[in-house]
Amino acid sequence: MFEKKLYRSDMLKCALCYDAPCSKVCEKLDPANLLRSIWFDNEYIASLNYPSANPCLDCDAPCEDACLHKKEVKIRDLMLKLNNDVRPELEIDMPDNEDRLRCDFCGISLENPFLLSSSVVASNYDMCARAFEAGWAGVSFKTICSFDIHEASPRFSAISGDNGTIIGFKNIEQLSDHSVEENMKVFRRLKENYPKKFILASIMGKDDAEWESLARKCEENGADALELNFSCPNMMDGELGSTIGQVPELVERFTAAARRGAHIPILAKLTPNVATMSEAAEAALRGGADGVAAINTIKSVANINIHTYVSAPAVHGMSAVGGYSGNAVKPIALRFIAELGQNPAMKGKHISGMGGIETWRDALEFILLGAGSVQVTTAVMQYGYRIIDDLKSGLNYYLAEKGFRSVEEVRGLALDSVSETTDALERDTILFPHFHPDKCIGCGRCMISCMDGGHQAIRLNEDRRPVLDGSKCVGCHLCVLVCPQKAISSAKKRIYRKAIKKDKE
């Protein structure tokens, strides 16, 4: 893949509007759609969708006047960069079909690997129908139970990034507040109107009989597969939710109960609130599961109010430990997916991965570590079902450019590169940073970070450009990460530590 040319930071003020004013005033293209592709790490698809006639070249940019932020988003410049900087680097045209995205879920064919995860985004007929129409392959329906659910208000809080977008999301929401029969009616209606779409029925019972009964009802009413919720952190009373997921014996017991009630594929949805996940995963397999889903949300406390001393969301002066999700948890999710993908007991079993997926690149990382399907919630809550366009087009283009014929061909390709400990890493060489003067603005952020958080290996010259002291640099690459201009990259050649030591002497 070519080097990225455009970033979210290039369009921070863009609100990703519904019925965007910029597109309403433009007669030659749909700038809102192209901006959204840039936001979701899909700049090359945006460049392919930009007209070859380059209509923005001689345009006075009425889109920027119409923008709700009034000229703060440089739409015309971004469109021109798509044409001038991005398109010349493309190696292939847009794929003419999505056949590469077809994949297998425990023997069931999916049109693509993208599912909605069990949550509010897949909790009634209308929502699921709109998601199917948008292009999602299936849904994991919000967890069905016989409990009397009464949700708290408010029940969400968030951690925001520099531009105000959500990077971490906390919820104290529980399960479906509709009756079992109401949800079965939804299943029947969805299967009648969308027979080729995939329904993964998430369930939670309070005892063996209920797990068995719910499994049977879901199968009888059209569910294609079951997802056993052993991981919800907001159901703590008795043997429910993450309480089950932390005890392998209970995972095995209730998986076996569900298996007695149904013949369709079963996944155990496991909790990340454990040191390792393999023990619970293997217990689920012994109980009759065909695979696992991971991760559910992580137990968390967020946003302490410094005046009321109550964390968020605050409900009548109280809050509670809740589930944390969003892009911030992706590294934790990937760690567990890698563990499952490397477990010999999981060979041939389906892994449905989730936890912080926003872009097609995020989804691909899960697939490269062994996931056969991926699930999304928090990004949909923030941006809507429409993100499926860039999820599909981005992954499809990547597969085509790399010469892969299917999602299955890339599944697990990164597993060999992941070690459980750092002991396996080579430590005899150093990879220096490489400075790009044409991109550098002389801010000195690299020097500050190296001086106060690194190894004092960078200084600024008289032109305010960074100069590296190779005798001090240890190749940590902190400078690469903090540079706001992306003006520092990795050098192409490694240096042996012995050579550096000799130079010092």
Active site residues: 232
Vertex 290: Cα angle to 185 and 354 (nearest 5): 75
DSSP string, 365-416: HHHHTT-SEEEESHHHHHH-GGGHHHHHHHHHHHHHHHT-SSGGGTTTTTGG
Pairwise CA distance, residues 123 & 431, whole Å = 49
CB-count burial class (<10 Å; 0-12, 13-18, 19+) for 14: buried
d(CA 50, CA 77): 13
* CB half-sphere exposure, 229, CA atoms < 13 A: 29
∠ CA(151), CA(230), CA(357), 5° rounding? 80
Q: How far apart are CA 143 and CA 174, in angstroms?
A: 9
**∠ CA 180-185-188, rounded to 5°:** 125
Amino acid at 168: G
In this structure, which amino acid lies at residue 477?
H
Q: How far apart are alpha carbons 53 and 501 in whole angstroms?
A: 57
Give the integer Cα–Cα distance in Å for 80 and 42. 16
Residues 6+ apart with CB under 8 A from 268: 227, 228, 230, 251, 255, 280, 281, 284, 287, 289, 291, 292, 293
- Which string of b and e fits 290-311 if b means at least 16 CB within 10 Å? bbbbbbbbbbbebbeeeeeeeb
Residue closest to 135 by CA, chosen among 226, 198, 213: 198
Residues β-bridged to residue 158: 169
